[in-house]
Amino acid sequence: MLDHQTQAPDNLPLFRRLTRFLNRSCHISRDFDTMKPEELTSFRMLLRLLQARLRGDVEQLQEEAFSSSEAGGDQRSSNHMAEMGSDAWDLDFALQLVENDQGVLDEISHALKKFDEGRYGLCEFCLEQGLPETKSRIPKARLQAIPHARNCVDCERKKELSR
Ligand SMILES: [Zn+2]
């Protein structure tokens, strides 16, 4: 616990650079339709970034991030993003939520697993109730605030009430 807190400030400048990078290269639209591939990529990147920050290994992630941006040629799409008026990440806000919670790393791993299974952004509780995927989407605004959220707000409330 103490280690984590004393270690954190060291990689903070690097983390902020990566945050700015993510803000330049992400494309999150406000609509509630299917997640576009580039939006999924951005959410995945955000989760990896939070994970790396919590683990204290941001440097390794930096190499990945910057090398992939060179390969992908993101210049044009970031202009596009400005035109679209997409929301920017508020990672400082996200970090305030996660900073002192060890369990969050597990939640982040879980969310990354959902990517591999093609279920990222879907409410697990809705799916358990038998709702189709189109009715089980967690709003993007919620995912931007809590990228590792397992459930939509309604289901989260229901779960809290049943406790
Ligand atoms: Zn739900």
Q: Encode pLDDT of 144-163 as tens digits.
A: 878 899 999 999 999 888 87
Q: What is the whole-number distance in angstroms between the Cα of residue 120 and the centre of ligand 1? A: 13
**pLDDT for residue 150:** 95
Q: Provide the 3-class DSSP secondary structure of residue 121.
A: coil
Q: At what angle do helices 12-25 and 75-84 cross, to 10 degrees?
A: 70
Q: What is the whole-number distance in angstroms between the Cα of residue 141 and the centre of ligand 1? A: 15
Please, what is the average pLDDT of the chain?
Answer: 74
Q: What is the whole-number distance in angstroms between the Cα of residue 128 and the centre of ligand 1? A: 9
Q: Name the residue ranges covered by the structural domains of the chain.
A: 2-118
Q: Please give the residue that has the higher pLDDT: either 100 or 60.
A: 60
| Best mean pLDDT range from 7-11, 67-71, 133-137 | 133-137
Other CB atoms within a 10 A radius of the CB of residue 144 amount to 21
Q: What is the whole-number distance in angstroms between the Cα of residue 85 and the centre of ligand 1? A: 28
Cα gap 27→76, rounded to integer Å: 12
Q: What is the whole-number distance in angstroms between the Cα of residue 156 and the centre of ligand 1? A: 7
